Amino acid sequence: MAGGATSVWATARLVAAKDLRVERRSRVVVNQVLPFAALVMVLFAFALDADAVLERTAPGLVWLGTIFSLLIVVQRSFAIETADGALDALRVAGVSPPGIFLGKSFALAVQLFVLEVLLVLLAIVLYESELDAAGAVLLVTTLVPATTGLAFVGTLYGGLAAGTRGRETLLPLLLFPVVAPVLIGATRATEAALGAGGAATDEGWPWVGMLVIFAALFGVGGTLAFGPLVEE
Amino acid sequence: MEPAVASSGPVVELDDAVAVLGRFPALAGVTMSVERGEIVLLRGPNGAGKTTLLRLCAGLLPLARGSGSVVGCDLSTQRDTIRSRVGLLGHSNGLYHDLTVRENVQFWGATVGATADEIQASLERMGLAARLSDVAVGRLSAGQKRRTALACLVARRAQLWLLDEPHAGLDAAGRDELDRTLHAAVAAGATVMVASHELERAGGLATRIVDVVGGQAGPPRSDHDGGSL
């Protein structure tokens, strides 16, 4: 009866499946985070009560809503690990930290993607944004690296803050400055996709490239750094 | 799957082991040996180094001086391997409260590639296979959660169980249940080290007592009960 550690990818699949199963049971994202994000969009509509302003700012509001919601989803993702010492237990059990990082990032990305789709739909309905076929291709292509990057950053900093006191207030201080490039890049690309402010679709692709680089950097960096961070 | 621990030779062997927390030597030259199948009670006051000794044996702390091996692996160079072969249960259970008992055991078992049969056997050994297996852990009593955590250790094929105050928070029935569980684990080939302040309860469980005082471990002092039970 000897234990044998599983591979990084097997661990990642295991952790992602576990996190998504926990969400399916608890329905915190569905019952709390999605309504929160929708409320933020409605409140923006009340605050900026002018169609032209809303149509122009819709892409930025979508991504601001995403980043506010990211904070809640990340805190929830690590709350389930720290509530009964599971994160410590994973560390004690010698479970691959890169596998944990990738698994939690994947589960986070899935939840964020659903959230972003909702927010874009709300922007189209509430803010009267328009989306043509070329814009839809750009938008979907934007969502993938932006979501992946946010998930990597969220998991990295969520793990860092998980063991600290005052993590609820520490996490936004750590997270918001780091995700600023995603906010800027994803907003510009989404502006191009929705044609906000007269932006052309072609203008969005360079920003997608930046989002891909951001996601790759944090994917590699997070995979390498997560173990030492959690160990500390 | 990694090889099982050698059936001969000590499961834990420490020689002048020193472990440092910050700059403080929490263990100041521990020499001790634990044989396969023993239940060793670590006894001592708060801050004596009991938990540090368990964490050292779990591969969570580096050796600052001395030498040692746990489940046949060197404590200086094979700590990652040691972690995958031992189970440390502290004040927390390491469970996911939204998942069922079975799902928790499946998850922890899967971290070492346990088969469905092994998961089922773990549940059965802890008496969790029937009524409780599909209950969310968040709805269990403290004793049932503890039992689930121990089932996870079984599913992880832990060869050495390191338990820090395992009776804390359990009622009388839960404590009896825990003791039966530990005896069953030993019967199945595990070795157990228990740190506890509840001497009457844990002393009755143990096959040997080790006093931990001032970061050093040794046979029971004369003001306590005898060591070999």
pLDDT in tens, A79-96: 999 999 898 889 888 899
> Tokens 């789709």 label which residue?
A117
The number of distinct structural domains making up chain B is 1
Confidence of residue B221 (pLDDT cuts 50, 70, 90): low
Question: By three-state DSSP, how is residue B92 classified?
Answer: coil
Answer yes or no: is A176 within a domain: yes
Confidence of residue A19 (pLDDT cuts 50, 70, 90): very high
Q: Encoding tokens for residue A83?
A: 């509530």
ipTM (interface predicted TM): 0.87
Answer yes or no: is B223 within a domain: no
Put simply, whether B87 touches A (Cβ < 8 Å) is yes
Domain that includes residue A89, residue range:
8-231
Put simply, whether B102 touches A (Cβ < 8 Å) is no
B87: nearest CA in chain A? A93
Answer yes or no: is B225 within a domain: no
Residues of A in contact with B106 (CB under 8 A): none
Residues of A in contact with B189 (CB under 8 A): 1
Q: To 10 degrees, what angle do helices A8-26 and A51-82 make?
A: 110
Around A50, how many Cα atoms within 13 Å sit in the side-chain half-sphere?
5
Answer yes or no: is B37 within a domain: yes
The number of distinct structural domains making up chain A is 1
A82: nearest CA in chain B? B94
Question: By three-state DSSP, how is residue B33 classified?
Answer: strand
- Burial, A70: exposed, middle or buried (Cβ in 10 Å; 0-12, 13-18, 19+)? buried
Answer yes or no: is A2 within a domain: no
Q: Do A80 and B96 touch (CB under 8 A)?
A: yes
Answer yes or no: is A78 within a domain: yes
Q: Is the pLDDT of residue A109 over 60?
A: yes
Q: To 10 degrees, what angle do helices A97-126 and A205-231 make?
A: 140
CATH at residue B18? 3.40.50.300
Answer yes or no: is A210 within a domain: yes
Answer yes or no: is A1 within a domain: no
Distance, in Å, from the CA atom of A68 to the CA atom of A49, rounded to the nearest integer, reads: 21
Answer yes or no: is A104 within a domain: yes
Confidence of residue B7 (pLDDT cuts 50, 70, 90): low
Share the mean pLDDT of chain A: 90
B162: nearest CA in chain A? A92
Q: How many Å separate Cα A79 from the centre of its chain?
A: 16
Put simply, whether B98 touches A (Cβ < 8 Å) is yes
Which of A20-29, B52-61, B171-180, B188-197 is predicted least confidently? B171-180
Q: Do A84 and B93 touch (CB under 8 A)?
A: yes
Answer yes or no: is A156 within a domain: yes
| Ramachandran angles phi, psi of B41, nearest 5° | -95, 125
Q: Is the pLDDT of residue A23 over 90?
A: yes
Pairing of strands B160-164, B86-89: parallel
Q: Do B94 and A5 touch (CB under 8 A)?
A: no
| Ramachandran angles phi, psi of B31, nearest 5° | -120, 115
Domain that includes residue B47, residue range:
12-218
Answer yes or no: is A107 within a domain: yes
Q: Is the pLDDT of residue B120 over 90?
A: yes
The residues, any chain, with a CB within 8 Å of residue B187's CB and separated by 6 or more, are none
Terminal Cα-to-Cα distance of chain A (whole angstroms): 30
Answer yes or no: is B147 within a domain: yes
